[in-house]
Amino acid sequence: MRYTASVELYTPLAQVLKTKRDYIEALGGMGLHTVEDLLLYLPRTHEDLTEMSTIESARLHEKVSIRGTVHALKLIRTRSHKMLVKGNFTDTEGSEAEVVWFNQPHITRMLTDGEEVVLTGKLILHGKKVQFQSPQFESTKIRGQNLVHAGRLVPVYPQHEIITSKWLREKITLIKDAITEIPETLPEAVLEEEHLLPRSDAIYALHFPDDASQVERALQRMEFEEMYQVQKEALERKREWQGRTQERLKIPMDIELIRALFASLRFTPTNSQKIAIYEILKDMEQSRPMSRLLEGDVGSGKTLVATAVMANVIRHGGQCALMVPTEVLAKQHVQSIGETLIHFYTYLQGKEGGTKMHHPTVALLTGSVPKREAEDARMRLAAGTVDLVIGTHALIQEAVQFRDLKLVIVDEQHRFGVMQRQRLVEKGSPHFLSMTATPIPRTLALTAYGHHDLSVLLEKPGNRKPIQTKVVPPAGRKTVELFIDRQIEGGRQVFVICPLITESENEEMAEIKSVEQEAARLKVSFPRRCIAMLHGKMTPAEKEETMREFKAKRSDILVSTSVIEVGIDVPNASIIIIEGSERFGLAQLHQFRGRVGRDEHKSHCFLFTTTPEQSRSQRLKAMEMFHDGFKLAEIDLQIRGPGELYGLRQSGIPEFHLSGLLNPELVVRARRAAEKHLSKV
């Protein structure tokens, strides 16, 4: 049947499709309301049913399409009160087969005796007879109309409730003429330069392809369009952000200051760190606000880069704010960054002539800071007597005001919501630097964080030894615990990570280790050792005390949830055990592993699995094989997808076709095309 009335893209489907109301409601639940919506509902794959078989040539138990006639159809009620439609089918060469449909009595109303059809399904031997069981059928009696469900590359659509792929094929065929009205979304110049199909041609090819190469070209066009739109929006956000020029934001790069900072350190910064510092400081010489992402693997030295940049800002009288995801990390940064800056100030004081910098002041602002101290910190920030404030979400409160905020740094950006980041940035439209220790493949970084320029740390300071990683089944626990006891005897300390805080009552979770359960077990297994616990239900003061005791070596084993994933620095800890490791993604496991290997001691990571089968997982075995976080991130991206991996759903980016994200050339092409187009606007 062909729908002959005039169809516009905006026409409601209820006016076009002759179908039941619940089908229209189901389409609405899928977000399909108009003709255009339905035409843009693209197939997830295609099934090759171009070749027509015969009963003689068809292989048993393989899906085939055969043209022929049906006859002698009859409705049979079985002893078990089920309904069968039985009949005979004769193909174009005269060979016969029995055909049967189960519980589909309507077939007798839809097919007439002697009608020519194409049956698609599997042939089987039923006794001595060749039989088609519940084949899909399509009448060929309408002249001039091509087959929809066979004889071509058949589109297979995502199904939903009562909406089947077969139903969608039939309805899209009725409105196919409207495809020519679908508007173009890419500039003409981009289509020509990238040799892309027009949008309407690509959509037609996906619904009604002539061959596989046409499908491939159509998919390339749609993937490029998706990536182009994301890159264009990211660049527009960046242009809008950087359109707010302010002369006060110009901060000269003090090369002598940075050289002196390097000279004051007990180690030599890596080339990657030097390049990143230069890129950031070069950005900050402009009157437009910087927007940059600093990406680096665990232990690559992002904190030093941030410290060097902040020293340059403080040297020129500006204020800095560093927002981190946890209070434990905020306090650790206040201590470590504060010590580095004070040590550097003292170093400068001891040098005759040369660069000078005033004594830096650092404040902490978190939810657990006593009210009087917090009020004092806010007053000094507003007065300009605090150079650097480090804190958590407390920094975005309205009560927090700055005298001259010139640099905002957000550590682990994906852990904060879009609005949280924006509220901090709006406190004076300062330069903005985002940092992440989660290695993100460059294609994903350009996509999810495309409104930032990108700096990447590819090296690690010093001569850090690789962490020996081993996946351990339940049977290997005793051997590992004997090894751990010897390591503790030698003065080392141990992290143990558990997925849960308390034992679960859920049967499916019963085998998963909890912090409380594992701490109790370890006290029995290691009676001479001091066991401590750390988890999210503890108060900030309790967490701080636990970490202080562990760093002071007053406890041997720290049993924790994923709260220790980011930034915790205990150089003496050389072993980390991850319980239920199959429950974590590779990127997160790599983050955990980065908590050890921070000193000269040989370090170990043991990935315990809940069952023996899980210990053979190729995903976990990748942790044994690779120590490069970027490689692991790419593997994780393929397995889990970008949204689950990096929490990008909150970033406002859409669900991507994964093949697009895993195609670096496509991302770079889309980025380049978007930049070129916007430069002309």
- Per-residue confidence (pLDDT) for residue 304, from 0 to 100: 94
Q: Could you give the C-alpha distances from 273 to 105, 269, 295, 414, 569, in angstroms and in order? A: 73, 6, 11, 22, 19
Side chain identity at 161, as an amino acid letter?
E
Q: What is the mean pLDDT of residues 112-140?
A: 86
Q: 413 versus 267: which is more confidently predicted?
A: 267
Cβ distance 207 to 647 under 8 Å? Answer: no
- Per-residue confidence (pLDDT) for residue 660, from 0 to 100: 59
Lowest mean pLDDT among 353-367, 394-408, 620-634, 651-665: 651-665
| CA angle 371–535–392, rounded 5-degree value | 40
Which residue has tokens 């899980």?
614
Lowest mean pLDDT among 147-156, 204-213, 399-408, 474-483: 147-156
Q: What is the mean pLDDT of residues 616-622?
A: 88
Q: What is the mean pLDDT of residues 234-245?
A: 79
Q: Within 10 Å of residue 109's Cβ, how many Cβ atoms?
A: 8
Side chain identity at 8, as an amino acid letter?
E
DSSP reduced 3-state for 664: helix
- Per-residue confidence (pLDDT) for residue 287, from 0 to 100: 92
DSSP reduced 3-state for 581: helix
Q: What is the mean pLDDT of residues 616-621?
A: 88
Side chain identity at 346, as an amino acid letter?
T
3-state SS of 285-298 is CCCCCCEEEEEECC
Q: How far is the C-alpha of 45 from the C-alpha of 47, rounded, in Å?
A: 7
pLDDT, the chain, mean: 84
Instruction: Using pLDDT thresholds of 50, 70 and 90, give the confidence band for residue 656.
Output: very low
Q: What is the mean pLDDT of residues 337-358?
A: 86
Q: What is the mean pLDDT of residues 389-399?
A: 88
Q: How far is the C-alpha of 71 from the C-alpha of 91, rounded, in Å?
A: 11
Q: What is the mean pLDDT of residues 148-164?
A: 87
From the options 2.40.160.50, 2.40.50.140, 3.40.1780.10, 3.40.50.2300, give the CATH code of 52-149.
2.40.50.140
**Hey, CA dihedral for 508, 510, 514, 518, is it positive or negative?**
negative
Q: Within 10 Å of residue 647's Cβ, how many Cβ atoms?
A: 17
Q: What is the mean pLDDT of residues 147-156?
A: 87
Instruction: Using pLDDT thresholds of 50, 70 and 90, give the confidence band for residue 266.
Output: confident
Cβ distance 139 to 67 under 8 Å? Answer: no
Q: Is the pLDDT of residue 648 over 60?
A: no
- Per-residue confidence (pLDDT) for residue 576, from 0 to 100: 94
Lowest mean pLDDT among 336-345, 348-357, 481-490, 666-675: 348-357
Q: Is the pLDDT of residue 546 over 50?
A: yes
Q: How far is the C-alpha of 131 from the C-alpha of 122, rounded, in Å?
A: 8
Q: Is the pLDDT of residue 469 over 90?
A: yes
- Per-residue confidence (pLDDT) for residue 377, from 0 to 100: 94
- Per-residue confidence (pLDDT) for residue 534, from 0 to 100: 87
Cβ distance 647 to 208 under 8 Å? Answer: no
List, in order, residues 6 or more apart from 109 with CB less than 8 Å away: none
Side chain identity at 601, as an amino acid letter?
H
How does 444-462 read in b/e, with b if 16+ C-beta sit within 10 Å? Answer: bbbbbbbbbeebbbeebbe
Instruction: Using pLDDT thresholds of 50, 70 and 90, give the confidence band for residue 351.
Output: confident
Q: What is the mean pLDDT of residues 266-293?
A: 92
- Per-residue confidence (pLDDT) for residue 34, from 0 to 100: 94
- Per-residue confidence (pLDDT) for residue 443, from 0 to 100: 62
Q: What is the length of the chain? A: 681
Share of the chain above pLDDT 70, in %: 87
- Per-residue confidence (pLDDT) for residue 654, from 0 to 100: 42
- Per-residue confidence (pLDDT) for residue 321, from 0 to 100: 94
- Domain boundaries, given as residue ranges, for the chain: 1-50+152-182, 52-149, 188-242+630-681, 247-437, 468-626
Q: Is the pLDDT of residue 580 over 50?
A: yes
Q: How far is the C-alpha of 557 from the C-alpha of 488, rounded, in Å?
A: 9
Cβ distance 591 to 296 under 8 Å? Answer: no
Q: How far is the C-alpha of 608 from the C-alpha of 481, rounded, in Å?
A: 12
pLDDT tens digit string along 492-531?
A: 999 999 887 655 444 344 445 788 889 999 999 999 999 9
- Per-residue confidence (pLDDT) for residue 585, from 0 to 100: 80
Q: Within 10 Å of residue 495's Cβ, how many Cβ atoms?
A: 24
Fold classified for 247-437: Rossmann fold (3.40.50)
Q: Within 10 Å of residue 40's Cβ, how many Cβ atoms?
A: 16
What is the signed CA dihedral for 177, 181, 186, 190, rounded to 10 degrees? 70
List, in order, residues 6 or more apart from 16 with CB less than 8 Å away: 3, 5, 7, 35, 174, 175
Q: Round the CA-based radius of gyration of the chain to a whole number and report it.
A: 32
Which residue has tokens 């979770």?
509
- Per-residue confidence (pLDDT) for residue 557, from 0 to 100: 94
- Do domains 247-437 and 468-626 share one topology? The answer is yes
Q: What is the mean pLDDT of residues 553-569?
A: 78
- Per-residue confidence (pLDDT) for residue 243, from 0 to 100: 75
Q: 92 versus 600: which is more confidently predicted?
A: 92
Which phi-psi region, left, alpha or beta, contains residue 647 (left: φ > 0; alpha: ψ -120 to 50)? left
Q: What is the mean pLDDT of residues 630-651?
A: 59
Fold classified for 468-626: Rossmann fold (3.40.50)
Which two tokens mark 300?
Answer: 């690559």
Within 13 Å, how many C-alpha atoms sit on residue 301's CB side?
Answer: 23
Q: Is the pLDDT of residue 353 over 80?
A: no
pLDDT tens digit string along 439-460?
A: 666 666 666 666 778 888 877 7
- Per-residue confidence (pLDDT) for residue 404, from 0 to 100: 93
Q: How far is the C-alpha of 628 from the C-alpha of 101, rounded, in Å?
A: 56
